[in-house]
A and B are shown apart, each in its own frame.
Chain A
């Protein structure tokens, strides 16, 4: 089945620890995204990548880091510098073409809780 896999579904970490969230896609999409969702709110963009070995900060990048060493993988690290990391994290990917109107497709998210 083609799709976007986020793991784990639930993640607990102690305050002050870095934690890495996994996102893998087998859709052969060029662009990948990380969003954060807080209760009752819309999604906010953390980082995005439009090509391997390149990525850009989104609206709320502070306290997060990413890498894009392979087309299919875009892991997100939540560092100890992120002041309020407890949230629902969503990864998305999108096929890029000349029309630029292709939709983003999302994984099922990782719910991170800091103890």
Chain B
């Protein structure tokens, strides 16, 4: 699976957009980009995923660059409840381990008043 690189931490003011970057420069053509978040002492929560087109759902938007070597997760109006560790994961469409997910150390997003 392609490796991902994320900044270890970011701060965001409440009500502003939070833009979380992820670098996946070795991504291959059949690999999807998934985003999850984990609030302390809870299980990871699925946010969004995409292959090459930008995606949007009720939680966030995912912007993938044309060369697919990086992506950005956008939380349009961050609230205090969005404070969490955000994980960017790249996984092939069909992969070993029953399509297991490989979580790195993610980005700790802190939303402040």
Contacts and interface: CB of A to CB of B under 8 A. Distances in A.
The binding surface of chain B is classed by DSSP as loop
B46 A105 contact: yes
B59 interface: no
A94 interface: yes
A40 B34 CA distance: 20
Interface stretch (A11-19, A41-49, A76-84): A41-49
In the complex, which range does the number of interface residues on chain A fall in? 20 to 34
B25 interface: no
Contact of B103 (A4, A43, A49, A105): A43
A56 B97 CA distance: 8
15 contacts: A33-B100, A48-B98, A50-B98, A56-B97, A58-B100, A59-B97, A88-B41, A92-B43, A100-B93, A100-B99, A103-B49, A105-B46, A108-B42, A109-B42, A109-B43
Interface of A: 4, 6, 31, 33, 40-43, 45, 48-50, 56, 58-59, 88, 90, 92, 94, 99-101, 103-109, 111
